[in-house]
Structure 1
Amino acid sequence: MPNNPVRPEAHKILEILPQTKMEWTFRVENHIPIRHGQFMQVSIPKFGEAPISISGFGDGYADFTIRKVGKVTDELFNLKEGDYVFLRGCYGNGWPADRLKDRNIVIIAGGTGISPVKSIINALYDNADYAREIYLILGFKNSQSILFADELERWKKAKNFHTVYTLDDEEYRDWNRGMVTDFIEKIPFKRFSGNYECLVVGPPVMMKFVGKRLLEDGIPEDKIWMSFERKMSCAIGKCGHCRIDEVYVCLDGPIFNYTTGKKLVD
């Protein structure tokens, strides 16, 4: 009998790493192949299922950084290390890793939107010769919402990383204050001579204004990539919940080039 493509399987929680009061990282045993930027469906019997981006992965595990915002996630926060969750996937395409080789990379992300891009940032950190210069503009609402503090510090010290960390409206230590769009002017795009790619992920309104600002600065549409995580339910293109015109976000995304992403309007 063929495998049921929507049947989840139990995976043990190996470790729980609190990030903030509302966001925890769950490290779950996993042997399913993963590409940077993909997602899985995480479920708890009797409570439901939710699509969650993979914030990190390695030999035998996958990380899910989850915000406590609903029925499934509320119950997930009641679990402990050694308990089991159910996973199916991986689903969707990923960030265009092949296009990043030997290029300058600009990554602009906000809030929990840093989760879908964190694994590829770490891959660029671990493989310093893969790309040229890495420019990070990462923003959070306030100091209580900062995620991945240890990795933020590690990236800041990397030889080929240039980091701008900002809080929307708070003075805090050595952080900047302002929206991520306020710091795009610091990126030396002209010096790149066209050899670059931009990755953008965050709340929809943030991505809208980042995309607008990049275009105003003369960045070609085909050099902008965005993650559209929208109403994904079945994750295999059957239910239609994530469909916009003829595009299924779960299959054709969640990573889209801006040439396509700009058309994804309800």
Structure 2
Amino acid sequence: MYLVGPKKQTDGSYLVGIDPPKPGPALKWKDGAWIPNEQWLNWANICRDIVLGMLVSKPAWFSRPPRRDTLDSIFTPWAGQRLSGELFLADSQNNVPTEGVSGTAVRVLTAVRMTPQSITPVWTVNSIVPDPDVDTISLFGSDDEEDDAIKTVPIVAPVKEVKPAGHEENSDEVREVHLDDVAPVTGISAPTHIRSREWEARKFMAKERVREARLKAQMADRIAAREERRFYTQFGDLDETESHFSEYDLTDEESDAEEAEDAN
């Protein structure tokens, strides 16, 4: 494979030919979009590196010898992979064949178009093989037969409720339901949460807050015990008239109030 050119175009870009043109692996297209595969992606990456190296080896084509990283920064990728794992073609020349809804074809690299801002590949498409049309199987015969079957379906009149003898229907009758007569529902399970990404993230952050709070509490207990031992070492036991350290602890009422505030 050799590079030919460059030739300046009417739009100011430069066209560098590929000799001979480089066909890639067969690609599928469907519903107006290419469906790249791992084989084509690997071929595109290798071919792009080769073309990039050949451009760097042609310093006479440029106003000053280019560096590889400079050309690489403006050489648009030919394909890529999204975070979801989906492969896609990144070039702007992304026209698919018009023959059929889907099929396979070969994209041939014929040149690269260069501007001061970008380097993009130029493709042609050949070896087009549309997928054959597949006849659908109707389980109810032809469409006309289906329409006739729908039209001939008999309409069944609704069945009226049979009232006991002597019963008079009163449309104004109001029935009163007493809540005390309704049996309580037993075995109520916990509410089911929809495990979305947001819900999983909030759950993870709440779990981390619990871990952090427990760690801080354990560290605070150790610090308090160490300071208490240091006090006794330096000053001895407390006098009977002095307040004890336990008097600084939270009371049950204060603890319950803090828990209620955290719950809200």
Shared topology, TM-score over 0.5? Answer: no
* Structure having greater relative contact order (Cα 8 Å, sep ≥ 6): 1
Q: TM-score, normalised by structure 2?
A: 0.19
* Higher strand content, 1 or 2: 1
More helix by share: 2
